[in-house]
Every structure is written in C-alpha cells, then in structure tokens.
Structure 1
C-alpha cells in the first residue's frame, strides 16, 4: 500500500529526517493528511516555516551524544539552555568534551520562578560555580525567562558578542524552554523567506533543523535530550501540571524535630532522621500537597493514604511509576546545603548544625546534596 510505504521511505523536505505519523513528540512527525502535500515537511519544519515557531521534539541519549559529537567538527557558538529550577538535572554533563574548542554560552532559563527577593548576581555566581564543578566552563552565563520575556535582550547581546559570524547550535534537555527561546531567536534574527535547509549528521538518521540567518549562517535547532533521571520523565503526564510551577515559588518553611517526615504529594518522601531541631525550606511547586507526620508512622501512612490524603498522583497512576529508592544523605556541620531532587525542586537545610536525612524518590531519579542556592 502506497501510504504504508510512504511513512518509512519519505524524508522531510525541510530537515531531511525520516517521516512518521505516530508520535508528535518525536522527530519527523507529520499528520496523516499532510502526506498528500508537496513537498512533504515534518510538523516541526512546517511550524517554523509558516509560523516562525519551533516545536520541541526529543531523542534518546545515544542519538543526542552522536549529534553533539558532530558539532565538535564545526566552528560554531554552542548555546546550552538549562532550567534553573532543575539545574543539575538539565545540565548536559561532559558537554565540553563533545563540542571541542567551540565556546559555550550558558543560558539559564526560568529565572521568573525564583522568589523576587533573591539577588540575581548571587544566583549568577552560584550558577558559574556549579557549572565549573560539573565540568563546564562557559564563556558567559545569562539568566533569563523566555516565557516572561525577562533578560532576553541580554541573551541577544551575548549571542552577538560571542558568535563572531559563526553558526549557532542550540542544545538542551527536554522541558527547559528551548523551543520558547528558539522562537524568540527566530523572530529577532531569521529571514524565514528562505527555505529551510537540511543538516545531516553521519552515523544517525537524526537531523537538526537549520534556521537561516541574514548573514548566510544559521541557528541550528537540535532535538532535546531526554534524561530519565528527572522526575518529570517518570510521573504520569496528568501530574505534570502540579509538579511544574508556572509562577514564582512561595517557599514553605517547616520546623522539624528529628524523627519527622514530610510527604511531598505521593511521589517523594523526606525523613529528618537525626539532628537538632531545625528548619527546612521547600522550593517546590505550590500546587503540591505537603503532609507532615512522625517517621515511625510514615510507612503505614503511605500504604493507607497514598494518592488520597497525601495528594496526587493517584494510587492507580502510581502503578506506572518506578518504586521508591532510599537516598541517605549526611549534611555536615558548618555547611549550608540543598537537597536537590531532579524535576521536583529542592529543600534548603537552613541550619549549619548538620543533619542525617533519608529521601525516597522513584528509582533512577537524581537525588543529591549541593551548595545552597539561597
């Protein structure tokens, strides 16, 4: 049948990727009805060409690393977009190894989610220190909110200064706001009267999209990498609205004695196992339900009330979520630390008296201690 053959043999006339009609979130998606058009282009190219709007697509880690490796053979500026709310979960570890001598501009998105009282210079210094500790030495760090149009003029200034007439590769994990930022760059930079051109990389069928610039160079929009170590990738999609904040976070402060537990919805559990009475500040979506109880009752309470008293996800939805893994964390005396849970946010340990903590999160989700952001 002609239609079945077309799905597997046709390539996008814009970016060259193999076309498919099953999964809108993956590269090459085209609605079935669009297969009759000439030329046939994927939905992502169609939206860029006709609406100056890029759609976000995702690839697995192996494909993404092959894509990054090809950038090392070019002379380009690499713009790495990360989510401030999920910094360690969205930073591409080892990026410098893949992109060779090309400079990396680190654009930190979603600054609008932080409490307005936070000093942005302090946040920027913290980002630089954390990036360095994680092996990335960017030529510049820019804080912005693509959604709220905060700091975008600074992004443009930094891009102009560091590009030096080269192509620009935009890389990032899924859900960091990459497509929103790309759309702003398209409207500021690109002459979309030109046709989209193909950028094929050896060793993979994955293609990036070249968005032509007025000087003959291009912004290359790469698919987002999926990190399964982020809570956002393992919870039901119906729960994402509660999990991901869309307005400034209102920190929640809890005074806890050791032997007390906080349930964060029915998805994460925080135990204060041992230490002097102290306060902990939760920087999480305010749509999440927080429930405090005694540690000795925590197991029983969870079994009896998950998905109900403890909040979403529902018990039925939890069946598709990996079982909890316990992470035992020791906060040293004299240190100010955050307990970071990728995709959820973080909990600041406000005292410097030290604490023994256990955090339960779905298996595979990144849980770690880090220097305090606030």
Structure 2
C-alpha cells in the first residue's frame, strides 16, 4: 500500500519543512513536524526572526550628520560627547563611531544627580571611559555633570579651554541625553570674546539646524541636533508614559530574588524571567514611577496580557497591547561577577553572573545591552 507523505511548509517563508538537517533551510524539530494538530509551523530560521529578534537594532542617523563630522575631522576639532548616565550603553551608532575614531573626545556624563550617592565617582568615570573605548573612541577625559543642578558646569568650561587648543568644538549627544539643558547651563557661564553673535542656522551643505557659538575670532562651538534614539523605549511610548519612565529624582535600587518559576514585570513595558540557572538576586534600577512586580511563570503570559489591557501596573502604553508588540531575547550569561542587563531608555537590572539564561521581553525595536555592572553592588 502506498504511503502518503504530507508536505508541510513554513507559514512565514513557504519553504518545505524538514527535520533531518538543522543546517539546511526548512528545519523544524521532528516532534513538531509530526504533530498534525499544529496547523501553523515556522521553520527554525523564521521562528527566530519572528519571535526571537536576535539582532537588536541600532539607532538611526541622518546621513547629513556625516557631512558635519567630516568637517570636524578635517579641522581636527574637539568632540564634546554628552551621554545620559542613566541609559547610554545601547545607544551607540557604529557608523558614527567609525567617523569619530581618532578625534579627541571629552565625555560629559550627564544626570549624575539621579544616581545613588554612594557610587564612587572615579569608578563611574572609568566605567564610562571603558564603554567608549570598547567602541574604539579616543577619550581624553570624562566629566560627571548634572545640567539640571548645574553640577560641575564651571569645571567643564575650564576643561574645554585646556583641551581644545584653538580648535573648533562640536557638541554631540543623543536625544534625551540632557544636551539641551546642559547647553542652557553652559550659556549662563559663557562669555563671548568675539564680535560675532550666536546664531542658529542650517549647517553648510545640510538641512541640520546647528547653533554656532563663537569662542574667539576664528573658532566656534557647534551645538548639533540630537542623535537618533529610535531604538529606545523613549521613542516608543506616549508623553504621559515618557514622564513616568524618565527619572527626575534620585533612583533607589529595588531588590528581588527570582527563580525559574518566576517573572518580573517592569510596568507594562518589559518583562524578564530566569530560564536557566540557580535562584538569582536582582537589583532593579528604574524610575520610582515604574511599578515592578514578581509573577509566577505558568500564568505569566496571561497575567502580562491582563496587565496591558487593564493597566494593572504603572505605566502601560497604548502602543503595547499584545505579545506581538514585543521582541523576545534569550540572554546567556557565562561571565562571572557583577553584571547588568540594561533596557535602552528604561533602566537596568544588576545581578551576580553564574551561568544563567534570562528571557527578556521588550517593545519591538528597542535595544538592550549586557555588560559588567555600572554599580558594583548587588546585595
């Protein structure tokens, strides 16, 4: 009697499914392929691209910005790079870093005032410098500042004087880095020693609005537009949610212990659970206005959806109403010591690395990072 073979195809790409060779197109585990009750199947490749977005996206950058940086290179300008200490690690743009490579960079690490007081400033500066060195950037110095509290602003002006050596100065930074507030604080201390007025106009050859601030008769500060931040939670939510997740006062660590049967809900914006590993103590660094709740796993999906639809945790976003609105990542931690998993624009979690695997749910398009701890304390 003839044997009937049912040909099954991937629901996404249409390739014929097979269970013999994981390296070939159309692979799916045999138990799924033989289970005819599963009406819809994805091949391994499509399953990972649909459900587990394996490549967190970089922020975009207006191509005209490269014209501006090319001029900075041509004149060997000093770059003042403003970062948001609360969340900067996942915001680097590799193409921009390539163009900045070799230029002298002064880093202004903004919003020091919202981090805990007991952090050692020198340790924090070294952490920032290390992160930029990993990006192959030439960091001359790191200054911790707070634009809103005018912390260290006078010192920054003196450092720029010492480092610029009669060169132009280009000030760059991502949106929400506090660069605008920092410039306002800077201008209060600024003295115009030239006969030229401060002007805002399109940078030559581009449509980029740049504030041109004379330093002397021949050199200028160029305050450039904020860099793209479209891989951040800050660009995915409504204004009321934005106000809740951007901390305006000192953040306090919240402590939780999670096991493989538990999940942490971070408002209705993110979720993390332990997939592999022993019970883990986690320190959570998020705005005080972001609720964090520990949930037992078997019903986690159902409870998360209920949280989204019923606004059970603060904040939730109208843009995030189903699991389809989230990317899912499995993060394998094989390093030991204090580690962070950070969510671009939202905050971070600290823990002791011990061969864990975490599953992270993020709004689609939002990037994350994992690195050594920004704050060397997980108790």
TM-score range, shorter chain: 0.7 to 0.9
Is the radius of gyration larger for structure 1 or structure 2? 2
> Residues 314-343 of structure 1: CA distance to partner in whole angstroms, max 9, x if unpaired?
5x4535998100010011252321011100
> Residues 175-228 of structure 1: CA distance to partner in whole angstroms, max 9, x if unpaired?
101111212222222439843357654542224221123454221111111221
| TM-score calculated relative to the size of structure 2 | 0.76
Which residue of the partner structure matches residue 86 of structure 1?
87
Q: Given that residues 83 and 110 in structure 1 are in contact (C-alpha distance below 8 angstroms), is that contact kept between their aligned partners in structure 2?
A: yes
Q: Given that residues 153 and 186 in structure 2 are in contact (C-alpha distance below 8 angstroms), is that contact kept between their aligned partners in structure 1?
A: no
Instruction: Tell me how far 1:302 sits from its aligned partner.
Output: 1.5
Which residue of the partner structure matches residue 71 of structure 1?
72
Once residues 312 and 372 of structure 1 are traced to their aligned partners in structure 2, the CA distance between those partners, rounded to angstroms, is 26
Q: Given that residues 321 and 362 in structure 1 are in contact (C-alpha distance below 8 angstroms), is that contact kept between their aligned partners in structure 2?
A: no
Q: Given that residues 101 and 137 in structure 2 are in contact (C-alpha distance below 8 angstroms), is that contact kept between their aligned partners in structure 1?
A: no
Which secondary structure state, in structure 1, belongs to the residue aligned with residue 70 of structure 2? helix
Name the CA shift for 1:101/1:326 in 2 (closer, same or farther; >3 Å). closer
Once residues 255 and 233 of structure 1 are traced to their aligned partners in structure 2, the CA distance between those partners, rounded to angstroms, is 30
Q: Given that residues 245 and 289 in structure 2 are in contact (C-alpha distance below 8 angstroms), is that contact kept between their aligned partners in structure 1?
A: yes
Which residue of the partner structure matches residue 353 of structure 1?
354
Which residue of the partner structure matches residue 257 of structure 2?
255
As a proportion of its length, which structure holds more helix? 1
Q: How does 1:235-254 map to 2 (within 5 A)?
A: 235-254=237-256
Once residues 67 and 127 of structure 1 are traced to their aligned partners in structure 2, the CA distance between those partners, rounded to angstroms, is 25
Number of residue pairs the alignment of both structures matches: 314
Q: How does 1:1-374 map to 2 (within 5 A)?
A: 60-99=61-100, 101-191=102-192, 194-197=196-199, 201=203, 203-306=205-308, 307-314=310-317, 316-318=318-320, 323-332=325-334, 334-349=336-351, 351-374=352-375
Name the CA shift for 1:333/1:74 in 2 (closer, same or farther; >3 Å). closer
Off by >4 Å, runs of 4+ in structure 1: 197-203, 319-322
Structure 1 unaligned spans of 5+: 1-58
Once residues 201 and 295 of structure 2 are traced to their aligned partners in structure 1, the CA distance between those partners, rounded to angstroms, is 55
Once residues 353 and 108 of structure 1 are traced to their aligned partners in structure 2, the CA distance between those partners, rounded to angstroms, is 30
